[in-house]
Amino acid sequence: MSLVIKRYIPLVITFLMGIIMVIATYFFAPGTPARDATALLTGSVDILVVMAGVIGLIVLIRHHSVNISKRGRFWKYSIFTIIGVILYLIIGLYGVATHPQHLMYASDLFAWVYNNIYVSMDMTIFSLLAFFIASAAYRAFRLRSLEASILLIVGALMLLGRAPVGGAIWEGLPTIATWLLNVPNTAGNRAITIGIAIGAILLAIRQLMGIERGYLGPEQQ
């Protein structure tokens, strides 16, 4: 495969699509024919997502099949993984085949399996994380520095303010916890969000200019 096909053509496509979407977003009003025409480009994202899902399914089954054949680590869990993926795929395809409206909405059986099996297991896993969070908090709250001391004080105030026992001890603790959550925490989250937005803009500019080429893979094969 030549360098033109591997490098330059993807860079040109990225630049053109990016410029078109920028112009459509900032210079064309919503509802205009030009803005509606660019909406067709966003549909290509769905195609890429579907292709990525199919590739991910193949890679997942292949990985666990190799693990089962070689009796690798936790290979018995790989059996359950493959069975669950295949059964859930069959249920989804059956719902689409029997009820065409399920192309837009999940079938009752598909939704039941998700809500009553997956969600329950997901909640179980997250409930187990509480023990690891408590262990990490114990290590982080040690008074070894000024930052750790502040973290300990704020964490204790939040725990007491959010727990019913805090209000019973002193009625001002819930107010303090609410202030910490709405003022310092919100300010920190907004600062982080602004930083993320600036980083995303810079990354987009680097990709449009062809400086960032990580999505093309390694430079040399």
Task: Tell me the per-residue pLDDT of 44-69, one tens digit each, with 9 for 90 and over.
Answer: 777 888 888 899 999 999 999 999 99
More confident residue, 39 or 179: 179
Nearest Cα to Cα of residue 161 among 149, 178, 185, 146:
178
What's the pLDDT at 78?
93
Question: What pLDDT score does 190 carry?
Answer: 96
Rg (alpha carbons) of the chain, rounded to whole number: 26
Predicted pLDDT at 92: 85
The 8 Å CB, 24+ separation contacts for 86-92 are 86/61, 88/113, 89/57
User: What is the pTM assigned to this prediction?
Assistant: 0.60
Q: How confident is the model at residue 10 (pLDDT cuts 50, 70, 90)?
A: confident
Q: What is the pLDDT of residue 105?
A: 67
Helix 75-98 vs helix 33-69: crossing angle, to nearest 10:
140
pLDDT of residue 6: 73
Instruction: Give the model's pLDDT for residue 65.
Output: 93
Q: Give the tens place of pLDDT for each residue, 88-136.
A: 888 888 887 787 766 666 678 888 888 888 888 888 888 888 788 777 7
Torsion angle in degrees (nearest 10) through CA of 95, 96, 101, 103: 120
**pLDDT of 3:** 66
Highest mean pLDDT among 24-33, 69-78, 193-202: 193-202
Q: Which amino acid is at 83?
A: I
Residue 185: the pLDDT is 93
Please give the C-alpha separations between residue 73 and each of 78, 84, 140, 141, in angstroms, as whole numbers.
9, 19, 32, 36
Please report the pLDDT score of residue 32 as a whole number: 80
Q: Where are the beta strands (DSSP E) in the chain?
A: none
Mean pLDDT over each residue of the chain, to the nearest integer: 84
Q: What is the distance between the terminal CA atoms of the chain, rounded to a whole angstrom?
A: 11
Q: Which of 163, 121, 122, 158 is nearest to 137 (CA)?
A: 158
- Helix axis angle for 146-162 and 172-182, nearest 10°, is 120
Instruction: Give the model's pLDDT for residue 4.
Output: 67
Does 1 have pLDDT greater than 60?
no
Sequence letter at residue 36: D
The pLDDT of residue 81 is: 92
Is the pLDDT at 180 greater than 90? The verdict is: yes
Q: What CA–CA distances, in Å, run from 34 to 37, 49, 115?
A: 5, 25, 41
